[in-house]
Chains A and B, each alone.
Chain A
Amino acid sequence: MGEANYPADLKYHREHDWVRLEGDEAVFGITWFAQDALGEVVYFDAPDVGAAVVADDAYAELESVKAVSDVYAPLSGEVTAVNDAVSTSPGLVNSDPYGEGWLVRVRLSDPSQVDGLMDQAAYTQYLEGLS
């Protein structure tokens, strides 16, 4: 799991999701803080490719040894790919949350929503406010 880290090239949502922007698409995952709070992730209930996701709404479930938790979409769009590796090995979310542990790739319907997300500095400050 390693130490807490929040890469500077990502955007962050208050429900502890990250976004990597790649043109008109984006990759979603959950942050180090989220995976640490969940504990060992044991199941990924993924959306279907082609499913619509709506910013601030749940689009998937992650089950840890503690509980089943909703995963919230930081931005709206349509799912173009799902990380099957996480379905097979859910622990990737813990071991590499920003890399192999990515969850879905989404074609964005409203890229301007990015303005509502936090950057690294704002998110780490937000986390300090929570503790």
Chain B
Amino acid sequence: MTAATGNPLQHEAVVTIYEKSRPGRRAYVAPPADVPERPLDELLPAALRRERPARLPQVSEPEIVRHFVRLSKRNFDLDSGFYPLGSCTMKHNPKLHERAAALPGHSRLHPLQADEHAQGALELMFNLQHALAEVAGLPHVSLQPSAGSHGELAGVLLTRAYHEARGDQREIVLTPNTAHGTNPATVTMAGYRVVNVGTAPDGGVDLDDLRAKISDRVACLMLTNPSTLGLFDSNIAEISRIVHDAGATLYYDGANLNAVMGICRPGDMGFDIVHFNLHKSFTQPHGGGGPGAGPIAVSDRIAPFLPVPVVAKDGDRFRLDHDRPQSIGRLRGFHGNYGVFVRSYAYICSLGAEGIARTARAAVLNANYLKALLARPGIAEHLPVAYDRHCMHEFVLSGAPMKRDLGIRTLDLAKRLLDHGFHPPTVYFPQLVEESLLVEPTETETRETMEAFADAVAEILAEAKADPSVAREAPYTTPVRRLDEAAAARNPVVRQPMD
């Protein structure tokens, strides 16, 4: 298969909006001012004004529309197809939430508005704090962190503040060797040293290794449960005891909360600090780099150190509370990504407590159904599941036999899936599993979609058996083929040359 298919417009060369600019073209002509004009010097001192006009692109309205609509079609998105990107929880984002977030009372609110003029927004934030506290099983919440990694940083800074307030200097944070890369990165940013904890043969934390590495120099253990292998660690109570006996805190990375929310609570498992990914579990659209939100929930002993401000309630009035003397301070300007809060709150209100629990059950059921579909002959001998037991919301396959017997790598399978209209699963993570694929269907997919995905995988493997070069050269139908991702990351070109 070499012929390009799909929309030919997708294959045209991309130019930037600046390159489309032609002098004199415009999409809008402002009407004459209906107030008296004043000299510019009166409004803005000359020293603060630019010497020549900004070089904005000059483009007609239809060209603007076409430009951005075409760009929007060149990427894979959840509204177009199945997106089983493990650990990312690419669930459907209900369109109702967009209407709620766009209401003028939300979208036109100014962040400097006085508390008494923003009571509705503060009430929404207060209620969201309360709902997240209930999901976490921990009573105190800050909505400030604006991404999962930001929530992690907040959590580790809180751990540091907690230990230092007791006069306790600690220097190590433990992370499992299956952890998200952001965990060790966060630890390093917060000034701690990372020590890895091994994984037991059943996929859980290696308790012997944990006991060997825990000490009064350990500040925190960062964990997800279920783990990045999609497995629930049933030793969590023992892990919690080991960590707390050493005086350390237990941190819950909320990346995998979709599997357990409403069913069991991190606080009840013994976690001190939890971060949420509202853009994963609570339907903020994501995948394009933001905006996200990474609120944190903490136990009583961590609460004094929470970032400011938090939303407080006095009688029936709401206010931003800045008066928290032991706070680690601000983590961002203003009050967090408010539009994300509206969408997540709308989601929580739509589902209710029972609906949230059913969501988690459906996510786990879907993952196990897809895992079973991929266990059929023609697939399983090439792509065996790495830990063969019931999974939670996601599961890991190993492409090692496929690489050995069919001569295609996990990356090749992933690229070929694009030609079948599917976004590939996460590849080469977790690194513990050779040639790994991490598959997370989420609760919002139908049986038919998952069956079609399994059929596509079987078809690609059969095709590779006949001719591995087809997958090795894939994709064929996308606007671009294989990209130089290393150069894109290390030498990104993000500026439009103007002359």
Chain A positions within 8 Å of B, measured between CB atoms, are: 37, 39, 42-43, 63, 65-67, 90
Contacts and interface: CB of A to CB of B under 8 A. Distances in A.
B278 interface: no
B431 interface: yes
A66 B428 CA distance: 6
A65 B431 contact: no
Per DSSP, are chain B's interface residues mostly helix, strand or loop, or mixed?
mixed
A37 B428 CA distance: 11
Interface of B: 409, 411, 427-428, 431, 434, 484-487, 490
Given A39-B409, A43-B486, A90-B486, 5 more contacts: A42-B485, A42-B487, A43-B490, A63-B486, A67-B428
A42 B486 contact: yes
Contacts of B434: 37
A27 to B, nearest CB: 24
Contacts of B427: 66
A58 B131 CA distance: 46
Contact of B411 (A37, A39, A43): A39
A65 B411 contact: yes
Given A42-B485, A42-B486, A43-B490, A67 B431 contact: yes
Contacts of B484: 42
Residue of B409, B428, B431, B486 with highest tally of chain A CB at under 10 A: B486
B432 to A, nearest CB: 12
A91 to B, nearest CB: 11
A28 B259 CA distance: 46
A40 B257 CA distance: 34
A90 B457 CA distance: 31
Nearest to B181: A67
A43 B486 CA distance: 6
Nearest to B411: A65
Contacts of B409: 39
A39 B434 CA distance: 11
Contacts of B485: 42, 65
Contacts of A43: 486-487, 490
A90 B484 CA distance: 12
A37 B404 CA distance: 12
A64 to B, nearest CB: 9
8 contacts: A39-B411, A42-B485, A43-B490, A63-B486, A65-B411, A65-B485, A66-B431, A67-B431
A57 to B, nearest CB: 15
A63 B431 CA distance: 14
A38 B428 CA distance: 10
A42 B487 CA distance: 8
A39 to B, nearest CB: 6
A90 B490 CA distance: 14
Given A42-B484, A42-B485, A66 B490 contact: no
A102 B111 CA distance: 57
A67 B431 CA distance: 9
Contacts of A63: 486
A43 B431 CA distance: 19
Nearest to B434: A37
A66 B486 contact: no
A39 B412 CA distance: 11
A42 B484 CA distance: 8
A39 B409 CA distance: 9
A67 B485 CA distance: 11
B363 to A, nearest CB: 27
Nearest to B400: A131
A129 to B, nearest CB: 16
A63 B485 CA distance: 10
A37 B403 CA distance: 11
A66 B181 CA distance: 13
Closest 3 CB pairs of A and B: A42-B486, A66-B428, A43-B486
A39 B400 CA distance: 12
Nearest to A63: B486
Contacts of B411: 39, 65-66
B87 to A, nearest CB: 15
A70 to B, nearest CB: 13
A90 B487 CA distance: 12
A114 B427 CA distance: 37
Residue of A65, A67, A90 with highest tally of chain B CB at under 10 A: A65
Contacts of A37: 434
Residue of B411, B484, B487 with highest tally of chain A CB at under 10 A: B411
A124 to B, nearest CB: 18
